C-alpha cells in the first residue's frame, strides 16, 4: 500500500494495529508512514471543517431545527445548541467563535486556513478591513504563526503580542481547590467553566483595576 493511498478519513479510523505489529517490516513501514503522512495537518483540517460547518449552521440558523433535550422545546441559541449537542464542547465553541470573528473571510478560503493563523486573525484587536485583505487571507493558509503575526503587525499596523506560557503545578488536592475557585471566577465573568486561562486573566485585570482605583 502506497503512503498516498491512505486518506485522512481512513487514517482517523481504527487501523488493524495487531496486523501492522506482525506483518512484514516493509509492508508495516509503508502503511504506517502512509498513516502518519496523511495525518500531517489533520488538526488544521478538522478545525477548518468545524468552522465551515458551524458557519453554515449559523447563517441558516439550522440549530433551531433541533429540540433542547433539557426543556423539550427548540433551542433558544446556537451557543446552547453547541453545549447540548457536542460532548467535547470547547472545540466546537472555539471553532464557532473563530468563524464568527472571521465573517469577512469567504467560506472557500475558511476551508483552507491554518488553525493557529485563524485564531490569530480572529483576535478582537484585528480590524475587519485587515480580515478582508486578499494577501492576509492567502498568508493565513500557508504562513507559520510567527510569520503571520509579523505580517499583520508590520504590513497592516496591528499590535499582536507573542504568547507567553505560565506553568502552574500543585499537589492534586491543591489543584482541585484552584480549579474550583477559577470555575467560580469563570461563572462570574460569564466564561466557560473550564476556561481557567480566561478566568485568571479576568481576575488579574479586576484586581489591578481595584488597586489602581
Q: What is the pLDDT of residues 137-147, one digit of tens each?
A: 999 999 999 99
pLDDT of residue 5: 39
- Would you say residue 57 has pLDDT above 90? yes
Cell numbers at residue 32, please? 504506517
* Cβ neighbours around 148 below 10 Å, total: 22
Whether residue 130 contacts residue 152, with contact meaning beta carbons closer than 8 Å, is answered with yes
Determine the 3-state secondary structure of 73 from DSSP. strand
**pTM higher than 0.75, yes or no?**
no
- Would you say residue 11 has pLDDT above 70? no
φ, ψ of residue 186 to 5 degrees: the values are -60, -40
- Identify the residue with better confidence: 76 or 9: 76
Amino acid at each position: 500500500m502506497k503512503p498516498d493511498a491512505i486518506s485522512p478519513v481512513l487514517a482517523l479510523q481504527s487501523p488493524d494495529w495487531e496486523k501492522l505489529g506482525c506483518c512484514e517490516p516493509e509492508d508495516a513501514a509503508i502503511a504506517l508512514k502512509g498513516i502518519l503522512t496523511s495525518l500531517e495537518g489533520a488538526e488544521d483540517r478538522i478545525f477548518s471543517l468545524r468552522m465551515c460547518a458551524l458557519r453554515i449552521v449559523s447563517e441558516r440558523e439550522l440549530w433551531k431545527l433541533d429540540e433542547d433535550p433539557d426543556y423539550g422545546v427548540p433551542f433558544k441559541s446556537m451557543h446552547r445548541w453547541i453545549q447540548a449537542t457536542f460532548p467535547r464542547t470547547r472545540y466546537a465553541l472555539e471553532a464557532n467563535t473563530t468563524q464568527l470573528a472571521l465573517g469577512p473571510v469567504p467560506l472557500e478560503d475558511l476551508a483552507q486556513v491554518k488553525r493557529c493563523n485563524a485564531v490569530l486573525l480572529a483576535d478582537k484587536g484585528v480590524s475587519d478591513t485587515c480580515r478582508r485583505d486578499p494577501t492576509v487571507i492567502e498568508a493565513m493558509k500557508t504562513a507559520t504563526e510567527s510569520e503571520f503575526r509579523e505580517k499583520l503587525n508590520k504590513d497592516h499596523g496591528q499590535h499582536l503580542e507573542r504568547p507567553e506560557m505560565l506553568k502552574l503545578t500543585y499537589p492534586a488536592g491543591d489543584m482541585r481547590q484552584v480549579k474550583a475557585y477559577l470555575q467560580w471566577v469563570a461563572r462570574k465573568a460569564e466564561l466557560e467553566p473550564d476556561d481557567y486561562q480566561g478566568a485568571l486573566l479576568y481576575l488579574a485585570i479586576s484586581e489591578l483595576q481595584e488597586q489602581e482605583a
